[in-house]
Structure 1
Amino acid sequence: MPRRIFKEGRRYTFSDYFEMGQPTEEILAELGYSFQTQALRLPKAEHIDQASIQSLRETYYALATKVSLNSEAAKREFMISPVLQTIVRSMDVRLNVEYPVDIDEHLSGTIDYLLRSQYELIVIEAKKGDLEKGFSQLAAEMIAIDRYDSDNNPDLLYGAITIGEVWRFAMLERPQKRLLRDIHTLRFPEDLEELCTILGGILHKG
């Protein structure tokens, strides 16, 4: 019989998942979800504001040599938030920052960014620049939102994890309780147009 990951009587926050040493699939299995990595077909917006993307790219290049980007706070301020703000300005989207969620003893804490239109997108920053460990945390947050908004919602829930320079997307098939991680990553600012196209596509079409 496999060893249980969660200890009885202990309360777990989302940040605890980052510290877990077990593979993501084992953690999710204990929460009742399956997990796999594959090439995802992510929705893409047909039209995006090219002027805003170009302005964001130019602003980043102008500041990159003048601002120290060695801390998580700096990357959040100069690399992550501007991307999300660009999307929010051009769409009917609600951006929630440090969104609190409390489902049960296994799923509670705050989500870095929760974007809501007709669809929902979770975005988190990977602590210590570790996408692999951070993905378990993203997965837990996606499951928490799945359970929090369990009625009358689209069958797909999207998430993204980033270290600032790199983004990776995920998709939760809610009826099947199956979480899929994209095998591909996107770079900032090199892939900025594709990144914004996907973010816009998720929030517009789901």
Structure 2
Amino acid sequence: MAKILETDRTYLFSQFTEFNDPPDEILAELGYQLRVDSLELPKSPTIDCSTLKNTLERRIQLTPLTSEQARRETLVAPILFEVVEPLNLKLNIEYSLVGKKAKGNLDYLIRGHNSLLVIEAKRDDLTRGFTQLAVEMIELGDCYGAVTTGNIWQFAKLRDHQITQDINLYRVPGDLSDLVSILVGILQPEEL
């Protein structure tokens, strides 16, 4: 089988969205295995998201979501702030990371009980966005990740050279309560 990645080259994270090769083959070249399965994601108790849901529904009506920036400012950032503020966690935006095989800026990085990386899928393409997310997760180390188009979210988990891509998708605003519960569950310490 022909190699996908050049041996002595460092790629920009965004370049991984340009490969037509299956994500599992790209990740295998980086020494990681991809598994697609239903993830058992940590969840916090039910959180009242009614105010945020109403705000997002109104913003969706008022804002054409035709660009990555519009989706990030209208949908993604407000959800992440809803999560980090009560937990008193820092929301790193455009966090610079240089790894062994790739480098660039992570859209959002939150370090809590676990690290959580969130990226906006370029051109609304979750599959190619997932490949970029997986590479960013590899360079970051064991963590959780989410790729989003703004209104659709998909999670992943990296542990011990295996990335598990969740087969479940979460929609905003419809699944907002579940989504926020998962985000908080990932970041807050488990209660004893």
- TM-score clears 0.5: yes
Tell me the CA shift for residue 54 of structure 1: 1.4
Q: Percent identity?
A: 41
List structure 1 runs of 4+ shifted beyond 6 angstroms.
Answer: none
Deviation at 1:31, TM superposition (A): 0.4
Q: 1:12 maps to what in 2?
A: 11
Where do 5+ consecutive residues of structure 1 fail to align? Answer: 147-155
1:161 aligned to 147, 150, 158, which one? 147
Q: Deviations over 1:167-197 (max 9, x none)?
A: 00001113xx100000110000000000000
* Equivalent runs, 1:122-141 vs 2, <5 Å: 122-141=117-136
CA deviation after TM superposition for structure 1 residue 87, in Å: 0.3
In the alignment, residue 165 of structure 1 is paired with which amino acid? Answer: N
Cα distance in 2 for residues equivalent to 1:63 and 1:8:
45
Aligned to 2:163: 179
Partner of 1:145: 140
User: Quick check: 2:113–2:186 contact (8 Å CA) kept in 1?
Assistant: no
- Aligned letter for 2:127? E
Q: Deviations over 1:43-100 (max 9, x none)?
A: 001253x1xx211111122222222111111010001000000001111322100000
Q: State the distance in 1 between where 2:73 and 2:28 align.
A: 35
Q: CA deviation at 1:9?
A: 4.1
1:145–1:34 CA distance, 2 compared to 1 (3 A): same
Q: Separation in 2 of the partners of 1:42 and 1:117?
A: 15
1:194 aligns with 2:190: no
Q: Does 1:56 align with 2:40?
A: no
- Contact between 2:156 and 2:164, CA under 8 Å: does it hold in 1? yes
TM-align CA RMSD: 1.3
How far apart in 1 are the matches of 2:180 and 2:120?
17
Q: Is 2:66 aligned against 1:82? A: no
Deviations 1:133-155 (A, max 9, x none): 11100000000001xxxxxxxxx
Q: How many residues align?
A: 190
Residues 38, 166 of structure 2: 8 Å contact kept: yes
TM-score, normalised to structure 2, is: 0.94
**Contact 1:171 1:179 (C-alpha < 8 Å) held by counterparts:** yes
